[in-house]
């Protein structure tokens, strides 16, 4: 593992915003690589992002209300997603000792900070929507030409 003075810092300029992002890199740190890859694998899925967005917007919610606000998610998938998020410290699950059981879910500070980090992806997509759509259209046209032999 590298010391603080040996840690390389890679700067990338974000176009249009003029903001510099300092991304510390520690080459040869397989534990950090595994952590980052694991986090990306867990949080970059559709349901985690929708849970983050919904809890950020509505605050503490019960399972049924959360499911209804997200829409289209099975009980099994939502349960799995919430458990993974709880294990990663992104939300808190509170069980109230009443009959029937009452369970609430709420983002932690860590969960809110992850939501803020992914906000940049939304901003990027908004800024580059037209370019992405043009690229997709060109790709589809090339694919169609290839399939028809033209």
Burial 105-127 (b: 16+ CB within 10 A, else e): bebbeebbebbeeeeeeeeeeee
Confidence bin at 25 (pLDDT 50/70/90)? low
Is 60 exceeded by the pLDDT of residue 130?
yes
Rounded to whole angstroms, the Cα distance separating 78 from 67 reads 7
pLDDT reported for residue 5:
30
How confident is the model over 43-51, as a mean pLDDT?
87
What confidence score (pLDDT) does residue 20 get? Answer: 41
- Give the pTM: 0.67
Between 117 and 54, the more confident residue is 54
Domains of the chain, CATH where assigned: 8-44 (no CATH), 50-148 (1.10.10.10)
């Amino acid at each position: 593992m590298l010391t603080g003075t040996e840690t390389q810092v890679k700067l990338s300029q974000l176009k249009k915003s003029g903001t510099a992002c300092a991304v510390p890199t520690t080459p040869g740190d397989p534990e950090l690589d595994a952590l980052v890859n694991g986090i990306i694998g867990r949080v970059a899925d559709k349901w985690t992002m929708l849970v983050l967005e919904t809890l950020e917007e509505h605050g503490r919610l019960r399972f049924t209300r959360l499911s209804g606000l997200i829409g289209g998610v099975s009980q099994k998938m939502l349960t799995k997603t919430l458990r993974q998020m709880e294990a990663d410290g992104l939300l808190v699950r509170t069980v109230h000792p009443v009959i029937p059981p009452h369970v609430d879910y709420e983002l932690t500070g860590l969960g809110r900070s992850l939501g803020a980090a992914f906000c940049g992806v939304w901003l990027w997509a908004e800024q580059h929507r037209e370019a992405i759509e043009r690229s997709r259209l060109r790709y589809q046209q090339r694919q169609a030409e290839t399939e028809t032999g033209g």
